[in-house]
Chain A
Amino acid sequence: MSENMNSPYLSVKDLFVEYYSNDQTVKAVNGISFEMEKGSVLGLVGETGAGKTTVAKSILRILPDFGCQIKSGEIYLDGQDLLSLKEEEMRQIRGNKIAMIFQDPMTALNPVMTVGDQIFEVVKLHNDMTDEQCKARAEEMLETVGIPKERYEEYPHQFSGGMKQRVVIAMALACDPDLLLADEPTTALDVTIQAQVLDLIRDLQKKFNSSMILITHDMGVVATTCDNVAITYAGRIIEYGNKEQIFHHPTHPYTIGLFGAIPSMNGDDEWLHPIEGLPPDPTNLPVGCSFSPRCPYVTDVCRQEGDVPKRITADGHICFCYNMDKVGKEEQ
């Protein structure tokens, strides 16, 4: 196990995932690789359809059986190859070592089961405890996320959106997971509730010392929560670095575009600066760099066949861009 001490806690290597529908192949994830340390928080940032959720579901292996396939890649958790595990072994890990918080609390809870039972179920599955102990644990989790345990017997429709998300969080954390996958946990919530829920997730993640992948498209959430950031575009990571590197020295034209699209609170801009164009059609990705059709720095080399080479700066900031040396320089 000594070699595991040096190897990263979670590593995803060259992950390719495809969806199939009506004879079309949707290339959702196209060679994503990243690593993360124990206890750290990685922000997976990108537009809708960039493959963020698919990555999380691949780690947990809960992609739908029908019309979806992990084409290739390796996912190691604590030195264990998750993709080669048997279904039964993987089932032991789900909800136990790895847990997921879902995007939409309105639909993530089973409407015909009491919230208490839904937490009880996950506790019972992964712990060798009596029913009374499991129930006590479920009640304790409800209290932890700020719901009185008297509401154990209530059904999801009796809870508000923010409360439901708390239940989902309680469910995810009930077995002290080592790795927490939070898939846009605040997107479906009211702005006023977002901050509360985010604080709750962050506090509990620290308390349980879990690692966390936070999937979001909200740069503000990333800034307050994450240690490292991976920017995804069209199923690839196009830039990876720690928070300071990404926020202070973004190098990929897309990342710069993302920051440009955030309204400045102290500037007097009349218009936002959106990134021109639309995300590429995942059934028909552009040749070469996927961002090239929208990129202001595009050159002929970007449209060449083949993957964009990975470039790493001395301090470990990773960027996939041919022209990263030119990017952002002309404005200064």
Chain B
Amino acid sequence: MGRYILKRILWMIPIILGVTVLVFTMMTICPGDPATIILGSLATEESLAAKRVELGLDQPYLTRLVKYLSDVYLHFNLGSSWISKISIVSELKVRLPRTLVLSLFTTALSFGLGIPFGISAAKNQGKWQDSLCMVIAMIGSSMPNFWLAMMLVLLFAVKLKWLPALGIGAGLAGLKYYILPAFSNFATGMASAARQTRSSMLDVIRSDYITTARAKGVPEKSVINKHALKNALIPIVTLMGTAFGNMLGGALIIETIFSIPGMGTYVIGAVGNRDYPVVQAGTIFLAIVFSIFMLLVDIVYAMIDPRIKALYTAGSKKKVKKEAKA
């Protein structure tokens, strides 16, 4: 298992490199001249040319790419924003945790609610609980997050004044600033988690080993929680990986609505300004976060399902067996 994790971490290197090259290339192809955007449309041709030399944009694509890769991966220097001149690393340090907290909070919320909904729907298939859960799921997936954000702000911030409408706070008390953003973005994730849990639970509940468990006299509660849930979780964990990716993406919109200075607002602003270093660094870090999360998902897989664990360790075990036979 340790070998497998190490292998997966090593695999992240080409993935991150690929993402870097891809983003760099896309920014180059993208129309729009950073020098014009920085200096404004009234700037003279000479000052624009000077700016391009300063930014290194006069160099050919390959030269710039190689320089960027060596800066980032050999000197660990992400550079600084072309617009604000602030070091990117210092920005990432404060912004990345905010986006992470928001995305994890949202993911936890959607699965924390979606999984129990799905279980109760599957357990009571065809009864009112089932219909209720599925109606909630349908409503959840039909509400756009920006609309839900507005409605929540109107109710909880404007009318009831329970929670802040926008911005961020410091320390543990600052967590309350994440409540409305997280609830705005959780509905779609919750809906898909509930539906996936329901169908996966129904599949498992109908399977033979559940009948076996019942035939052994296992109490219904243990049949669901001990025998069924662990098997049903396998596809749900997969969904959790992709859902976290969606939450990261959704955070971009939510951060804008709630004026949270996170990765979303940072990168989106940088895209508009053709602030190449910021876009590239931001994307690389989001890719790293996503890769780590997917690795965690795979580790959870192996913990749940011994068959998958066996696949991971198969290489080394087979060798041992062959040696034993010889």
Contacts and interface: CB of A to CB of B under 8 A. Distances in A.
A62 B211 contact: yes
Contacts of B307: 111, 155, 157
A93 B217 contact: yes
Contacts of B306: 111-112, 155, 157
B291 to A, nearest CB: 27
Contact of B215 (A60, A113, A155, A157): A60
Given A99-B215, A100-B215, A110 B209 contact: yes
Contacts of B310: 155, 157-158
Given A125-B217, A171-B216, A111 B208 contact: no
B227 interface: yes
Interface residues of B, number: 24
Contacts of B231: 110-112
B216 A94 contact: yes
B217 A112 contact: no
B212 A102 contact: yes
A100 B219 CA distance: 17
A91 B219 contact: yes
Nearest to B126: A66
A96 interface: yes
B212 A94 contact: no
Contacts of A99: 215-216
Main SS class of interface, B: helix
A121 B211 contact: no
Counting chain B CB atoms within 10 Å of each CB, which of A62, A87, A107 scores highest? A62
Nearest to B310: A157
Contacts of B88: none
A115 to B, nearest CB: 11
Nearest to A181: B215
Interface string A111-140: 111000000011001100000000000000
Contacts of B219: 91
Nearest to B204: A110
Contacts of B304: 112
A104 interface: yes
Q: How large is the interface on A (under 10, 10 to 19, 20 to 34, 35 or more residues)?
A: 20 to 34
Nearest to A112: B230
Given A107-B207, A112-B231, A157-B310, A94 B217 contact: yes
B59 interface: no
Nearest to A103: B208
Contacts of B227: 110, 113
Given A112-B231, A112-B304, A157-B310, A126 B209 contact: no
A53 to B, nearest CB: 10
A92 B217 contact: yes
B201 to A, nearest CB: 13
B125 interface: yes
B318 interface: no
Interface string B212-243: 11111111100000010011000000000000
Nearest to B233: A112
B216 A125 contact: yes
Nearest to B219: A91
Contacts of B217: 91-96, 122, 125-126
4 tightest Cβ-Cβ pairs between the two chains A and B:
A94-B217, A95-B216, A95-B217, A107-B208
Given A112-B305, A168-B212, 17 more contacts: A62-B214, A67-B126, A91-B218, A95-B215, A95-B216, A99-B215, A102-B211, A107-B207, A107-B208, A109-B209, A110-B227, A111-B306, A121-B218, A125-B218, A155-B306, A155-B307, A157-B310
Interface of A: 57, 60, 62, 64, 66-67, 87, 91-96, 99-100, 102, 104, 107-113, 121-122, 125-126, 155, 157-158, 168, 171
22 contacts: A94-B214, A94-B216, A95-B215, A99-B216, A102-B208, A102-B212, A107-B208, A108-B208, A108-B212, A109-B212, A110-B209, A110-B227, A110-B231, A111-B209, A111-B231, A111-B305, A111-B307, A112-B230, A112-B306, A122-B216, A157-B306, A157-B310
Interface of B: 125-126, 206-209, 211-220, 227, 230-231, 304-307, 310
